[in-house]
C-alpha cells in the first residue's frame, strides 16, 4: 500500500525536515520520498486537509487493557483500537492482569496474541510474584522473552529490601524498574488529594507525603545500588524537585506524568463525579504549575495516558466506593496539545513518542527517506467533540465525554500496518 501525505508540517526534532511543510510518500512500510511536492500516482491513498501535521507514532508508557482476567472492562482488541485512534503505535502494557504477568509464559501470551497489530504491545513484567510484593520474579527470563520494564503497577513495592534487590538484580541486563511512588501506610485508603477541597467535601485525603516519602526512598535506593529507576505518574511539586535534584547528582532516574494530572485539579472533584477519581489523585494548581515546568525543562521525561478502564459496576458509584481510573488513550494527545502555548508542541510530541521509547531501549526511527514508517498524522485547529460514539474502549469512564478538542488524530502508520 502506498500512502501520500500532502502538505503536512513535520514535527520531528531528529529530522532535517523538522517544522517544514512537505509531501511524504510511504510505500510498503518505508518512507520513500520527502519533497516539497509529490505527484499522486494511481493507486495512492492520498491524505490531505487543513492544518495537517506528521510526527513519529506516539508511545504510551502506561496502559491497562485488562486482558487476561478482566476482559469485560477491556481486551487486547479494543485497547489496540482505542490506542490507534489516539495516535499511538506502541504502548507499555502494565502487568495488572489475572494471572499477573510474572513469568515468561504470560509475556509470550501478550506478544503472540498481538503479532502484526497496528499498535506494538510492549509487555511490562511484574517485579514480584503474583503482584504481592513478597518475592522477586524471574525478571531476566521475562526480559529475554520481550519484557522491557518491571513494575507492580498500582501496588507499589512497599518493602524496601525487595525494592533494593530488584534494582540490583536488573543491573545485570540493564533492566528498568518502574515504581508508583506511594507509601500505602500514609495514603491509607484515601479517596482524593488531601487539602482544602477534601476537607470541604468530607472525603478522606491522600497526602502528597505518601508519594514523596516513597519517591525519596526509591531515589536513595537507586543511588545506592546504581540501578535504573522510572517513577510512574509523579503528581506533586516536591516530587518534581526531588527528581530534578537526583538527576543533577547523576542518579539514573526518569519519570512520567499522567496527562489528566496536567489538566485537572482536585477542585474538579467537587461535583462528586467518580470519573475524576484517579490515582495518583488530582492535585492543586501549584502542583500542576510545577509539573508543567518539569516537562518543559526535561525533569519529567514522558507523558502517559494512564488508561485504566472500569465498567459501570465499579465506577458508577458514590465517589467513596468507586474504583480509581480513567480511560485515556484517545484523549491523551488532544489534551496534551492544549498545553502547546505553555510547553511547546515539540516537547509534547517528544514526551509522547521519542522519550518513552528511549527510556525503554526501543528503537525509534525518525521521519527521513529510507526509514521504516512509524507515523502519526493529526490536524490542529479543527474542532471536534469526544462523545460516547467515538469511544473505542469497552469502558466509558472519562470526565472528557462531551468535550470539544481542537487537535484530532487522523490516522497512524506502523510499518506495513496502517489505519488509513
- The C-alpha cell that represents 230 in the structure block: 522510572
Q: Could you say which of 306, 311, 320, 387 is catalytic?
A: 306
- The C-alpha cell that represents 229 in the structure block: 529507576
Known active-site residue 306: yes
For the four alpha carbons of 336, 339, 342 and 344, in that order, the dihedral sign comes to positive
Q: What is the 3-state secondary structure (H, E, C) of the chain?
A: CEEEEEEEEEECCCCCCCCCEEEEEEECCEEEEEECCCCCCCCCEEECCCCEEEEECEEEEEECCCCCCCCCCCCHHHHHHHHHHCCEEEEEECCCCCCCCCCHHHHHHHHHCCCCCCCEEEEEECCEHHHCCCCECCHHHHHHHCCCEECCCCCCCCCHHHHHHHHHHHHHHCCCEEECCCCHHHHCCCCEECCHHHHHHCCCEECHHHHHHHHHHHHHHHHHHCCCEEECCCCCHHHHHHHHHHHHCCCCEEEEEECHHHHCCHHHHHHCCHHHCCCCCCCCHHHHHHHHHHHHHCCCCEEECCECCCCHHHHCCCCCCCCCCECCCCCHHHHHHCCHHHHCHHHHHHHCCHHHHHHHCCCCCCCCCCCECEEEEEEEEEEEEECHHHCCCCCCCCCCCCEEEEEEEEEEEECCEECC
Is the separation of the CB atoms in 377 and 53 below 8 Å?
A: yes
Task: Output the CA angle 149-151-155, nearest 5 degrees.
Answer: 165
- Which residue numbers are catalytic? 306
Amino acid at each position: 500500500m502506498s500512502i501520500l501525505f500532502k502538505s503536512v508540517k513535520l514535527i520531528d526534532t531528529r529530522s532535517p525536515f523538522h517544522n517544514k511543510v512537505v509531501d511524504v510518500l510511504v510505500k510498503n512500510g518505508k518512507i520513500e520520498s520527502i519533497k516539497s511536492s509529490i505527484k499522486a500516482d494511481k493507486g495512492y491513498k492520498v491524505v490531505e486537509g487543513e492544518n495537517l501535521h506528521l510526527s513519529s507514532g506516539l508511545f504510551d508508557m502506561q496502559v491497562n487493557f485488562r486482558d487476561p482476567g478482566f476482559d469485560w472492562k477491556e481486551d487486547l482488541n479494543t485497547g489496540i483500537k482505542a490506542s490507534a485512534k489516539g495516535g499511538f503505535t506502541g504502548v507499555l502494557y502494565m502487568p495488572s492482569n489475572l494471572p499477573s504477568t510474572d513469568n515468561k509464559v504470560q509475556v509470550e501470551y501478550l506478544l503472540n496474541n498481538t503479532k502484526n497489530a497496528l499498535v506494538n504491545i510492549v509487555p511490562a513484567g511484574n517485579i514480584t510474584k503474583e503482584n504481592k510484593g513478597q518475592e522477586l520474579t524471574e525478571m531476566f527470563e521475562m526480559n529475554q522473552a520481550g519484557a522491557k520494564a518491571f513494575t507492580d503497577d498500582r501496588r507499589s513495592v512497599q518493602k524496601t529490601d525487595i525494592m533494593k534487590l530488584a534494582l540490583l538484580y536488573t543491573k545485570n541486563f540493564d533492566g528498568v524498574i518502574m515504581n508508583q511512588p506511594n507509601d500505602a501506610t500514609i495514603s491509607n485508603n484515601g479517596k482524593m488529594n488531601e487539602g482544602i477541597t477534601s476537607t470541604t467535601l468530607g472525603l478522606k485525603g491522600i497526602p502528597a507525603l505518601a508519594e514523596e516519602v516513597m519517591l525519596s526512598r526509591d531515589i536513595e535506593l537507586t543511588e545506592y545500588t546504581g540501578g535504573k529507576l522510572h517513577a510512574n505518574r509523579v503528581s506533586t511539586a516536591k516530587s518534581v524537585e526531588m527528581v530534578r535534584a537526583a538527576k543533577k547528582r547523576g542518579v539514573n532516574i526518569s519519570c512520567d506524568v499522567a496527562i489528566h494530572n496536567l489538566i485537572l485539579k482536585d477542585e474538579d472533584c467537587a461535583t462528586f463525579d467518580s470519573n475524576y477519581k484517579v490515582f495518583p489523585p488530582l492535585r492543586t494548581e501549584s502542583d500542576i504549575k510545577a509539573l508543567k515546568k518539569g516537562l518543559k525543562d526535561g525533569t519529567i521525561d514522558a507523558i502517559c495516558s494512564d488508561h485504566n478502564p472500569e465498567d459501570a459496576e465499579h465506577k458508577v458509584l458514590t465517589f467513596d466506593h468507586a474504583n480509581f481510573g480513567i480511560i485515556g488513550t484517545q484523549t491523551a494527545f488532544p489534551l496534551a496539545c492544549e498545553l502547546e502555548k505553555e510547553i511547546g508542541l515539540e516537547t509534547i510530541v517528544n514526551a509522547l513518542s521519542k522519550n518513552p521509547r528511549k527510556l525503554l531501549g526501543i528503537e525509534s526511527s525518525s521521519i527521513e527517506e529510507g526509514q521504516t514508517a512509524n507515523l502519526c498524522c493529526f490536524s490542529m485547529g479543527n474542532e471536534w467533540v469526544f462523545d460516547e460514539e467515538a469511544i473505542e474502549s469497552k469502558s466509558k469512564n472519562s470526565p472528557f465525554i462531551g468535550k470539544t478538542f481542537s487537535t484530532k488524530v487522523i490516522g497512524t502508520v506502523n510499518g506495513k500496518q496502517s489505519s488509513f
